[in-house]
Structures are given as structure tokens and as C-alpha cells.
Amino acid sequence: MNQQHQDERARIREAMDRLLSGQATASNGSLTVVALAAEADVHRMALLKRHVDLKNEFYERVRTESQQIPESERRLRETVTKLKNTVANQKAEIEELRRQVIRLTFASAVLTHDRDERVERTLVPDNVVAFPRSTT
């Protein structure tokens, strides 16, 4: 590792300590990667690309030392909850639509059957008596 890389890592670790102790100097003090990058005076992509281990360490420390869930994880959990509710609502709607299709199919069959009987009766001349249909 070159000296610049080591200096970045040292600044990031110091920034972690300041954020977790609530003594932020260069950021808003939130426990996020963006605040950590601002506090350490490094580009946030450096945390996401070159110093992934430090980013993971930061989030682990946030969980253990502050007993908080990181902001990104909290948002993901909220999104998952909303999506689960959406899926449940859609499943219920699909079931209701299926029941409606069955009801409409039966109604169509009854109406078609009634219409066919009326058409048969009108085709029979007045002087002919139709035999009832057998039920067997």
C-alpha cells in the first residue's frame, strides 16, 4: 500500500470514531457512508470501491456500538415490508378476480341456455306440440 492509501484509511478510521462518539466535525453526524466520507474528507466512491472493508466495519460498529440499524438497511427493510404488503394485496385481488370470472362464466352459461330454449320455442310452428326433453 502506498502512503496516500494508508492516510485515507487512517482518516476513515478516525472519522468512524468521531461519528460513533457523536462528535462529527465535517458532516451532519448521521451514521451513513456519505457522512463517513464527508467526515474523513474522502470521496464516497473511495469507500465503496477501495475501502469496502472499512465501510463494512463501519456498519458493523454502528450495529454493535450504537445499537442502531444503518440508514440504508432501515430503508431496505421498509421497502421490503411495503413490497410484501403489495404482494399480499395483489394475491387477494387476483383471488377475487378468479371468483368473479367463475361467477360470470356461470351467469353467461345460464343466459345462453335460456336464450337457446327461447329460440327453440319460437322455431316450433303453432300446430306442433314439442315433447319435453328427457332428463336422462
pTM: 0.52
| Three-state SS sequence of 49-60 | HCCHHHHHHHHH
Point out the least confidently predicted range of 39-48, 76-85, 88-97, 101-110.
Answer: 39-48
Q: For residue 32, report the phi and psi dihedrals to the nearest 5 degrees.
A: -130, 165
Q: What is the mean pLDDT of residues 25-48?
A: 86
The angle that helices 52-66 and 33-40 make with each other, rounded to 10 degrees, is: 110
Q: Is 46 left (phi over 0), alpha (psi -120 to 50) or beta?
A: alpha
Following DSSP, what letter does each residue of 96-135 receive, concatenated? Answer: HHHHHHHHHHHHHHHHHHHHHHHHHHHHS-TT--PPPPP-
Q: What is the mean pLDDT of residues 76-84?
A: 94
